[in-house]
Amino acid sequence: MSQAGTFAGVQPFATWHTPLAWTGYILLVDGLVWKRRGNSWLRNARGEFLFLALASVPLWVVFELYNKFALGNWYYVGLPYFMLVRYAGYVWSFATIWPAIFETAELVGAWRDRRAPDYRAEAPRPEPLTPAAGAAVIAGAAMLLAPILYPSPYLAAPVFLGFIFLLDPLNARAGAESILGDWRQGRTARLVNLLVAGLVCGLLWEFWNYWAHTKWIYNVPILPHVKIFEMPILGFGGFPPFAVECFVMYVALRRLIWSGAPRPIAL
């Protein structure tokens, strides 16, 4: 309905298409996961899902701050005039980002393996911070610091990779879910699910954004006119690692704040 209303230029769809479309998508995908596995975020982990949606807002604001003060790679047009309404739109839209990535990754996992994971068997264990892992943490910190010290539109890649190097080894050391811990145990399913989810969500973000009245437009220095929808084509390479970055950032935040039993992510 929202897409049809956006094509027709009908309000509120044309202005609110991004949060409407992504809310509908999250509900649809959660239902598909539950139907295939009998277990889903909204059916079995509603408390953490609410925490995930709330956490998604400040986590994405981190990237907005990098963009505003260091990168200048995108900007918004067609925003509501009244600031209260505008910020309500920001919050609603940003609250869908992490849930969309994780729901999609779980749908990919359910498609690859219909069986729901044995969550007790999948529980991670603390991993040592080896010299290589310590070097990754230092490299990640340097990648995230570089755009702050030397703002440049060419430095988006360090921002969209740096948190992986910085946080994932620390998550592994704390005994939380991590790509490093999976790798040391010979598991690749989570990484594959996240990478595919990032690409799927990236394509949908750009598809739904293209016709919306309220939207973002990119300002990037490399092949800016070779686009799929609004996104310069090279930018699509950033969506898969962005999904991994969403995972490591959320796990780091969750282990510090969330006191409930955590739901395994992207399995």
Residue-wise pLDDT tens digits, 166-200: 999 999 999 999 999 999 988 999 999 999 999 99
Most distant CA pair in the chain, distance? 57
Domain spans in the chain, listed from the N-terminal domain onward: 2-257
Mean pLDDT of 149-177: 96
pLDDT of residue 116: 65
Determine contact, residues 96/241, Cβ cutoff 8 Å. no
Q: What DSSP state is assigned to residue 78?
A: S
> What is the pLDDT confidence band of residue 229, given thresholds at 50, 70 and 90?
confident
Per-residue pLDDT tens over the stretch 58-107? 999 999 999 999 999 999 999 998 999 999 999 999 999 999 999 999 99
Q: Which helix (H) or strand (E) holds 240?
A: helix 239-257
The pair of three-digit structure tokens given for residue 27, joined into one six-digit string: 């509900």
Determine contact, residues 153/71, Cβ cutoff 8 Å. yes
> Bigger pLDDT: 10 or 117?
10
227-228/215-218 β-pairing: unpaired
Average pLDDT, the chain: 92
- pTM here is 0.93
Match 């003060």 to its residue by tokens. Answer: 69
Q: Closest by alpha carbon to 178, among 251, 101, 84, 100?
A: 251
pLDDT more than 90, % of the chain? 78
pLDDT of residue 126: 86
Q: In the beta sheet, which residues pair with residue 132?
A: none
Is the confidence at residue 120, as pLDDT, over 70? no
> What is the pLDDT confidence band of residue 19, given thresholds at 50, 70 and 90?
very high
Q: In the beta sheet, which residues pair with residue 75?
A: 217
Q: How far apart are CA 71 and CA 89, in angstroms?
A: 23
